[in-house]
Chains A and B, each alone.
Chain A
Amino acid sequence: MIYQRRTKDQLAARVARDIPDGAVVNLGIGQPTLVANHIASSREVLLHSENGMLGMGPAPHSGEEDYDLINAGKQPVTLLPGGSYFAHADSFAMIRGRHIDICVLGAFQVSVTGDLANWHAGDTNAIPAVGGAMDLAVGAKQTWVMMDLLTRQGNSKVVPVCTYPLTGVSCVKRIYSDLATLECTPGGLRLVDLVDGLTHAELERLVGLPVMPPPRSPAGP
């Protein structure tokens, strides 16, 4: 059967669907930033930016950029009414102190038990840069990863054990990917959902790992 990958926007919308009203959320740089565009207007979500802002708003109109008001990716943003600014020590107290409900990060690899590798692809010539990833990975109440399930070469980015340098140990709760949503548990991967047309067996073949079925919902069909 033919299956279709989620586009980047569809994936962002899938992540946004699971963010509850009233949540405090930190969106990592790159792809996770897109999630902000898909949060339903019926939900009020407080966006935290590691560089010292709570209540972050959308990008400014062209010509109104103020580079004293930027997000973690250093792009110009706005502040919503009710938003606040604070210094770095306070910002990371919010992160480490378990005050952020959800952070969404990109990843190079995630292990079945939720180890995360997203700061260094292991190339010894690369200039290393970690930013706030290690703090976010272990500090948020829930860490979600948003990524393609497979590399361009077709290898699974969900692995038994990460081969790239780790960002955090047993910290990822959920993996939102272009093909499936998965949960990392101490007992291994558990399926949350699949894109239309992809079977559970085909998913297991693609990742090369056993995936437990979703828990049977008592009211479900």
Chain B
Amino acid sequence: MLNKVAASVGDALAGVEDAATVMIGGFGTAGIPVELIEGLIAQGARDLTVVNNNAGNGDTGLAALLAAGRVRKIVCSFPRQADSHVFDDLYRSGRIELELVPQGTLAERIRAAGAGIGAFYTPTGHGTELAKGKETRLIDGRQYVLEYPIHGDLALIKAERGDRWGNLTYRKTARNFGPVMAMACRRTVASVHEIVDLGGLDPEAIVTPAIFVSQIVKVERRATQAGGFKQ
């Protein structure tokens, strides 16, 4: 029987190795898998490279992982926010490495890893500091920059509903990076608020098909907190 349901967050995150590349879904606080990040903190892996759109909001979720000193490097598009003080302090004191990637290039590099693409040319960033030292190419009169995939060891995804095969649906704009990150990692753990029987998810509406998911774990719903802007 194929059953990807883990009994607990702790079970789902057993065996994460030091120096792993961990992709964490979310845009601001929407889609941040807070319970899985808390589980990763408890699990203890360190020297991590984290891929996320941002670099933590407030003191919980990704910010808590950074504050625990577990992250060596972050790959993201928009670290600086109204409430990114944990990252800001680490960055200014030289205790974390930053790779800044334009948001669409970040999404496509992750997608490329999941789709078996060796590299791709994008017009984004051509002629800017973020393309410095990268190969460029003129295609049909337009300049493009060569970008390489980002592969991950582990993806932590917040989804809404799932089944024991690992099919997933999401909620509103909390979907964001979840589907591409699930494709790009050797192992993908998703939290869901509801586990339904096989057939309980409309096959026309499944967003992440089971093939991209290793384990799912049910967590209680907590209202997503505001974050990322001055209130």
Interface residue ranges, A against B (CB under 8 Å): 49-53, 65-70, 73-76, 79, 85-89, 91-92, 95-96, 115, 120, 125-135, 138-139, 165-169
Residue of B nearest to A98 (CB): B123
Number of A-B contacts (CB under 8 A): 158
B79, B178, B228: which contacts A74 (Cβ < 8 A)? B228
Given contacts A70-B28, A74-B229, 9 further A-B contacts (CB under 8 A): A67-B224, A68-B224, A88-B177, A128-B79, A128-B100, A130-B77, A134-B102, A135-B102, A168-B128
- Say yes or no: B91 contacts A91, CB within 8 Å: no
A166 contacts across to B, CB distance below 8 A:
127-129
A135 contacts across to B, CB distance below 8 A:
102-105, 124
Complex interface residues of chain B between 54 and 91 (CB less than 8 A to chain A) = 77-81, 84, 87-88, 91
- Say yes or no: B126 contacts A52, CB within 8 Å: no
B165 adjacent to chain A (CB < 8 Å)? no
Quote the shortest CB–CB distance from B190 to chain A (angstroms). 14
Q: Which secondary structure dominates chain B's binding surface?
A: loop
Q: Give the complex CA separation of A66 and B92 in angstroms.
A: 33
B79, B176, B228: which contacts A52 (Cβ < 8 A)? B176
Interface residues contributed by chain B, number (CB under 8 Å): 56
B170 contacts across to A, CB distance below 8 A:
85
Q: Give the complex CA separation of A164 and B101 in angstroms.
A: 18
B207 adjacent to chain A (CB < 8 Å)? yes
Q: Give the complex CA separation of A86 and B177 in angstroms.
A: 10
Complex interface residues of chain B between 163 and 219 (CB less than 8 A to chain A) = 170-180, 207
Most buried by A among B91, B125, B223, B228: B125
Interface residue ranges, B against A (CB under 8 Å): 27-31, 53, 77-81, 84, 87-88, 91-92, 98, 100-105, 107-108, 110-111, 122-130, 143, 170-180, 207, 223-229
- Say yes or no: A52 contacts B173, CB within 8 Å: yes
Quote the shortest CB–CB distance from A167 to chain B (angstroms). 7
- Say yes or no: B179 contacts A53, CB within 8 Å: no
- Say yes or no: A53 contacts B173, CB within 8 Å: yes
Residue of A nearest to B57 (CB): A74
- Say yes or no: B30 contacts A68, CB within 8 Å: yes
Quote the shortest CB–CB distance from B90 to chain A (angstroms). 11
A50, A53, A74, A169: which contacts B126 (Cβ < 8 A)? A169
Residue of B nearest to A56 (CB): B173
Q: Give the complex CA separation of A139 and B122 in angstroms.
A: 10
- Say yes or no: A52 contacts B123, CB within 8 Å: no
Q: Give the complex CA separation of A156 and B105 in angstroms.
A: 32
Q: Give the complex CA separation of A66 and B173 in angstroms.
A: 10
- Say yes or no: A51 contacts B78, CB within 8 Å: no
- Say yes or no: B226 contacts A65, CB within 8 Å: yes
